């Protein structure tokens, strides 16, 4: 039953409305030929672009901001997202190790963003190698790992948006169909 739901979820992605052309190596939405094209070019790309927009907006001095106890600091949540990215993508790819030292609540913006980018790069290699056959094979755990990781990233990005608002910072607009713009070496032009 869960395999049917996962296949249905990915099939819905293929039918997603077409938007802006993707950048980098991702095909545009109207060129998606597979579930994995939609996964890479829309789901994965959109969530990471939007996460990076949120993470980059918070000033370095506010990375230790905690709205209330017992919540993690903003930087702690970003570190948690990276830890989970590493865990799921290492699991999906079958990698074990190397042991990584996570960032802490006081690591600061530069170190935290660098750690997050390493996690994104690790997951990028997983998504680049991903095939439709892997997603729909009789291995519900594999597809469940991917959907769980993506759901976690979206949920935690929403949590970071809440932190921005509570800190008096207007969060960025959420955008879609931009492709993996972080591969272009920087921030997106949001004008």
Candidates 103, 116, 110; CA nearest to 60 is 110
Model confidence at 61, pLDDT cuts 50, 70, 90, reads very high
- Provide the pLDDT for residue 28: 63
CA 172 to chain centre: 16
- Provide the pLDDT for residue 111: 93
- What is the Cα–Cα distance from 104 to 32, expressed in whole angstroms? 39
- Mean pLDDT across the stretch 165-174? 92
Side-chain-side CA neighbours of residue 152 (13 Å): 18
Lowest mean pLDDT: which of 35-39, 59-63, 134-138, 164-168? 134-138
- What is the Cα–Cα distance from 175 to 61, expressed in whole angstroms? 26
Residues 113, 81 contacting (CB under 8 angstroms): no
Q: Which residue has the higher pLDDT, 125 or 7?
A: 125
Model confidence pLDDT, tens digit, residues 110-119: 999 999 999 9
Model confidence pLDDT, tens digit, residues 149-158: 888 888 999 9
- Provide the pLDDT for residue 29: 61
Q: Which residue has the higher pLDDT, 143 or 5?
A: 143
Candidates 54, 78, 83; CA nearest to 66 is 78
| Whole-prediction pTM | 0.76
**3-class state of residue 23 by DSSP:** strand
- Mean pLDDT across the stretch 140-148? 73
- What is the Cα–Cα distance from 109 to 106, expressed in whole angstroms? 9
* Domains of the chain in sequence order: 2-14+21-182 (1.20.120.450)
Residues 78, 57 contacting (CB under 8 angstroms): no
Residues 20, 139 contacting (CB under 8 angstroms): no
């Amino acid at each position: 039953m869960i395999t049917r739901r996962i296949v249905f979820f990915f099939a819905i992605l293929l039918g997603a409305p077409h938007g802006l052309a993707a950048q980098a190596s991702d095909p545009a939405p109207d060129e998606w030929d597979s579930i994995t094209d939609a996964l890479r070019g829309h789901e994965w790309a959109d969530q990471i672009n939007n996460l990076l927009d949120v993470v980059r907006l918070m000033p370095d001095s506010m990375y230790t901001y905690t709205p209330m106890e017992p919540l993690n600091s903003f930087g702690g949540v970003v570190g948690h997202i990276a830890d989970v990215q590493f865990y799921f993508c290492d699991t999906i790819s079958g990698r074990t190790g190397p042991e990584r030292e996570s960032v802490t609540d006081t690591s600061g913006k530069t170190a935290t963003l660098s750690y997050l980018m390493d996690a994104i790069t690790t997951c990028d290699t997983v998504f680049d190698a991903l095939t439709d056959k892997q997603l729909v094979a009789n291995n519900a755990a594999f597809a469940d790992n991917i959907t769980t990781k993506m759901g976690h990233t979206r949920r935690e990005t929403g949590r970071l948006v809440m932190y921005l608002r509570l800190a008096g910072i207007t969060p960025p607009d959420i955008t879609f169909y931009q492709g993996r713009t972080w591969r272009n070496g920087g921030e997106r032009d949001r004008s």
